[in-house]
Amino acid sequence: MKYLITEQELPPRMRRYLADVDTGRAYYAKNLHPSRHALSSAFRGLIETARHHGYAEKLSRESGMAFFDRLRTEGWQENSLSSQAVLLRKYAFETGEGMDWALESGAFDRRPIELVFRAPHWSRFLAIQSELQEVCEPSLIRLADRWMRWRQSMPRLDDATMQSFKADARNLGLLAELMSEIDPENPDTIFLQQCQRIRRTVTRPKSPSHKKPSFHDLPEPFYSEMARIAARSDKPNGLSSARIELLSCALRRLVRITNSRQMPVELSMETAKAFAEDVFDSDIKTRSKANYCDALAGFAKHANYPSEIREALMETHNALKLESSSDLRRKEVALAQNPLNLVDLAEIAHARLRQAPHQDHIRTRRRDYALAGAMALLAKLPLRSLDLRTGRIGKEFHRDSEGWSVEIETSKTGTFINGRLADCLIPYLDATLLMGVGEMHLWTVYEARVGTALFGNPARGWKPFGDNWLWENMRRLTGHGPHIARSLTYDAVVEDPDLDLRVAQALCGHAQETSRHFYELNADRYRRLEAQDILAEIAESRPNKKAFGAFVENALLQLDRECKTQTIQT
């Protein structure tokens, strides 16, 4: 085919490129020199087609598609079309002109990395380009280049626009890790991970799961009776799912006991007595023994068994509960083994926040940001784990120009907790929100995250972290679960003479006065120590110190007995 325009009529860039091929300065000069006339012909055909259609006189998506449509119409075979495309793609790779067409038209991206790094968007990574070539696969660098080119063409980024970027879930995960390393403060890495999650889910859809009820393995008549009890759970005075699970656990123990003793599988005075004997002899805590008897008594009540069965079980329960009042609670043992106070908790959160940016893996970094924010918040506002994990941005947690505030209705008691959080929490909660993204993007990220959990998993669409996430991580770091912060708050308030217990009740969201007795661990000891100091001062001022010292000792013993009696009654 003979084109009407000459080589001298080509745009200056194309003429310079042909000259560089002639002189050997072009990157592909050695390969293109034998095909120099074919390259000139392709340029002239492209520009002639662009002029005919009114396109800009350069290689672009529009002019490239129009040129090859023309060649097909004129009868060119695919092999010939492919050779023309290879010539134009080499020109695009080296000059950057028509890169959108070049990347879309090729089945594979095999650009030399030296040419990839010539693009303007790689200039800010000039210092690490040689290191990238050593540690990264060439295909990953090319993918990062395509990502940065694609991102420049998108005015805004969301889940819908992300679907137009072509890459599978595995490569998107690698790309997210690379971009978080070389451009850690860019919020686009969050969308990369989001897109990876969506494509992984589409590739490997989960089969629908049907959760079995907690009593699914119970024999009759217990299964039918528990099914009727569970059916009333959503009605007034219905049992919670946790209570139903506890009843099911007690019934499974009853079934195991009756089978081992070759007794009928039923609830009667005889089997209830065998149940109580087995529980009493088992190697579990006294409080757990009391709970087993209470659960079976609760089942007897709701399933309409004779009242004497329930009364006998409750009598055993009350005796065990009274006995357990002298046992050390699990939290008391844990605190003795791993001493902790609110200052220690805040220091651990601070260390975790400082360590997070230096973690090698993107998921480890984001885990540490969220963990630092959660522990710092617990040190100031000891929320229950569920309320903390499910608190949403813009709903329960608010950010404005002055800082963070909360507006929470607690899940357990319905108590309202609202107000502005301490300024010292701002860097922790901001870091939890940004997950390593630069602070200049704070409001962009905040607007995008409104309605999602503040302590959400970016790899799961910002859904709250799992039930055990905070427990497992805090136990690893402190030896305690998140609820220890509630006990530490009560003890700190009692230890400080300037604070009132109502402060701790408000911070913990307790609606009842009796709730504090469960969380106070060292409070009585602090009170006794304070009383000792006061009485010691009085004793020093008395003429008969020895007699008064005996009086003080007896008074303290009486105070100790009264504290224990009050705890048992509670």
Residue 98's pLDDT band (boundaries 50, 70, 90)? very high
At residue 515, the pLDDT reads 45
C-alpha–C-alpha distance, residues 284 and 289, integer Å: 7
At residue 425, the pLDDT reads 94
Residue 185 has pLDDT above 70, yes or no: yes
pLDDT tens-place string over residues 141-166: 999 999 999 888 887 777 777 777 88
Residue appearing with tokens 């304070």: 530
Secondary structure (DSSP) of 488-508: HHHHHHHH-TT--HHHHHHHH
Work out whether the CA dihedral 271, 276, 279, 281 comes out positive or negative.
negative
At residue 448, the pLDDT reads 86
Work out whether the CA dihedral 178, 183, 184, 187 comes out positive or negative.
negative
Strand partners, 463: 457
Q: Are 293 and 320 in contact (CB under 8 A)?
A: yes
Residue 568's pLDDT band (boundaries 50, 70, 90)? very low
**Amino acid code (one letter) for 455:** F
C-alpha–C-alpha distance, residues 199 and 193, integer Å: 10
C-alpha–C-alpha distance, residues 119 and 345, integer Å: 48
C-alpha–C-alpha distance, residues 192 and 173, integer Å: 8
C-alpha–C-alpha distance, residues 396 and 390, integer Å: 9
C-alpha–C-alpha distance, residues 421 and 404, integer Å: 6
pLDDT tens-place string over residues 301-347: 999 999 999 999 999 888 888 877 765 566 666 777 788 888 999 99
**Amino acid code (one letter) for 206:** K
C-alpha–C-alpha distance, residues 305 and 292, integer Å: 17
* Phi (first) and psi of residue 293, to 5 degrees: -65, -40
Hey, what are 13's tokens? Answer: 């860039």
Within 10 Å of residue 448's Cβ, how many Cβ atoms? 18
Walk across the sheet containing 397-400 and list its strands. 397-400, 403-409, 416-420
Q: How far is CA 79 from the centre of its chain?
A: 52
Residue 516 has pLDDT above 50, yes or no: no
Residue 519's pLDDT band (boundaries 50, 70, 90)? very low
- Determine the average pLDDT of the residues in 15-33: 94
- Determine the average pLDDT of the residues in 102-127: 91
Close Cβ partners of 502 (under 8 Å, ≥ 6 residues apart): none
Radius of gyration of the chain (CA): 36
At residue 122, the pLDDT reads 93
Close Cβ partners of 536 (under 8 Å, ≥ 6 residues apart): 552
* Alpha helix (H) residue ranges in 356-440: 362-380, 385-390, 426-434
- Determine the average pLDDT of the residues in 42-49: 95
Bridging pattern class, strands 403-409 and 397-400: antiparallel
Bridging pattern class, strands 416-420 and 456-457: unpaired
Hey, what are 16's tokens? Answer: 């310079």
Close Cβ partners of 431 (under 8 Å, ≥ 6 residues apart): 353, 356, 369, 372, 373
Nearest alpha-carbon partner for 404 in 416, 413, 414, 396 = 396
- Percent pLDDT > 70 in the chain is 81
Q: Say which DSSP state 3 is in.
A: -
Residue appearing with tokens 């940065």: 148
Secondary structure (DSSP) of 93-127: HHH-TTHHHHHHH-SS----HHHHTTSGGGGGGGG
What's the chain's average pLDDT? 83
Residue 564 has pLDDT above 50, yes or no: no
Q: Are 491 and 523 in contact (CB under 8 A)?
A: yes
In terms of average pLDDT, the best of 208-222, 357-371, 505-519 is: 357-371
SS3 state of residue 147: helix
Q: Are 430 and 446 in contact (CB under 8 A)?
A: no
pLDDT tens-place string over residues 408-464: 988 877 888 889 999 999 999 999 999 888 898 899 899 989 999 999 988 777 889
Residue 275's pLDDT band (boundaries 50, 70, 90)? very high
* Alpha helix (H) residue ranges in 509-544: 515-519, 523-541
* Phi (first) and psi of residue 109, to 5 degrees: -110, 105
Q: How far is CA 325 from the centre of its chain?
A: 38
Within 10 Å of residue 38's Cβ, how many Cβ atoms? 14
Residues in the chain: 570
Q: Are 316 and 332 in contact (CB under 8 A)?
A: no
Hey, what are 334's tokens? Answer: 């844990």
**Amino acid code (one letter) for 5:** I
Every domain of the chain and the residues it spans: 7-107, 127-202, 222-327, 337-490, 529-570
Q: Are 465 and 435 in contact (CB under 8 A)?
A: no
pLDDT tens-place string over residues 209-246: 567 888 888 999 999 999 998 888 766 667 888 888 99
Hey, what are 15's tokens? Answer: 């003429």
Q: Is 324 exposed, middle or buried (0-12, 13-18, 19+ CB in 10 A)?
A: middle
Residue 300's pLDDT band (boundaries 50, 70, 90)? very high
pLDDT tens-place string over residues 533-557: 655 666 566 555 555 556 555 655 5
Which CATH fold topology does 337-490 show? Answer: hpI Integrase; Chain A (1.10.443)
C-alpha–C-alpha distance, residues 250 and 484, integer Å: 28
Strand partners, 403: 400
Within 10 Å of residue 555's Cβ, how many Cβ atoms? 13
At residue 206, the pLDDT reads 55
- Determine the average pLDDT of the residues in 252-279: 92
Residue appearing with tokens 């799992």: 466
Close Cβ partners of 340 (under 8 Å, ≥ 6 residues apart): 478, 479, 480, 484, 488
In terms of average pLDDT, the best of 239-253, 391-405, 489-503 is: 391-405
